[in-house]
Chain A
Amino acid sequence: MVMMMETQRIPIVRLSGKLIVSIQTALSDTVVDRLQQDVAAACERGDARGLVVDVSGVDVLDSYITRSLRDLAVMARLMGVETVVCGLRPAVAMTLVEMGMELPGVRTALNLDRALALLDSLQPEGLPNDLAGEGDEWEGEA
């Protein structure tokens, strides 16, 4: 039996200019913090236009984790990468609403396909990041 002593790491996949993070593990604070650092490092490479965080494998989002996700999205945006959170389970979404903790300022999509499509609509394929306009303008006009 192998005991996992090291902090679990959530893999970040690169797919045609996008970063895709699929969370399939119980989120401890350490895992979430680690993810934030890893995403920051991935954004820093500069070749990503968007980030999708798939939370369909997450069965509980409490206030800390929710805030961390929001911070992750804000941080990515500051680095020129738009974030879409997708796959929120209905029970999780209902719980968040009831707690009064929506994800303000974070784009959401039903599933991975729609999240990718949403990112494409925000920034036309093939346009390098720095030519795509001043990030924030894309938002209001969508």
Chain B
Amino acid sequence: MNEIAGEILAILRRYLSEPTSRSLLTSAARRANVRLEMLARSEIPQLVQQLGPGLNIFLQEPEKLQNCKSLLALVAVENAPSIPMEPPQQQAESRPDGISVPIRAEHDVVRARTLGKDMAKQLGFSEVVQTKVATAVSELARNIFQYAGTGEIRIRRIEGKKRGIEVVARDQGPGISDPALILSGAYRSKWGMGAGLRGTKRLVDEFELDTHPGLGTTVRIRKYAE
């Protein structure tokens, strides 16, 4: 099994036992007519497609199933053949975006949070960094759901000198009228702490808030491996 196949196995292992993961992977490889010892980047999509039926059987919880498939899809994207081995930072910016999680229901907040954590884990971040990323995603996703109704969370890896993870939360809701006040800490929302955005800012390395009353809000955060 080569490195690319190993990456896929590592994702499966998050959700399934070692023997199950291996047998699913080998049988999918057989059906996809690819060899795990020399799996090429271009072969990932067909392999992932063949993994689908097995995952449907073994991953009974719809949420886990969807998360696992999203992560697998991400590997395929991240390893697209057009990407040079050591991309300069500029090019890393223009890479296909990672996972996108639409936020429409409360349930999506949990999904986004779980995916954020899974992805941070996948990138080899420490448990603390994983937790911080997941918590930040949770705050942003919840704000979308609570205040804008619907929106989207995008999570992608940052490659280059500093490895990290980027999360963009975007909505077309009512916007925030006084972001400076909220981030200053003087703000108390009507139901309590008003700690979401300010806390999120403290958890991450980069935090950008772009909001326009009546048009919507975009929050971009970045967290780098420690």
Binding site for B on A (CB under 8 A): 1-4, 26-30, 59-64, 67, 89-92, 94-95, 98-101
Contact = CB atoms under 8 A, between A and B. Distances in A.
Contact of A101 (B60, B126, B193): B193
Nearest to B194: A63
A60 B128 contact: no
B114 interface: yes
Interface size range on B against A: 20 to 34
Interface of B: 56, 60, 62-63, 106-107, 109-110, 113-114, 117, 126-128, 130-132, 134-135, 138-139, 142, 192-193, 195-196, 198-200, 202-203
Contacts, number: 77
Nearest to A31: B110
A63 B109 CA distance: 13
Given A98-B202, A99-B195, A100-B202, A62 B142 contact: yes
Nearest to A70: B192
Given A1-B60, A29-B109, A63-B195, A92 B139 contact: no
A63 B130 contact: no
A10 to B, nearest CB: 14
B153 to A, nearest CB: 14
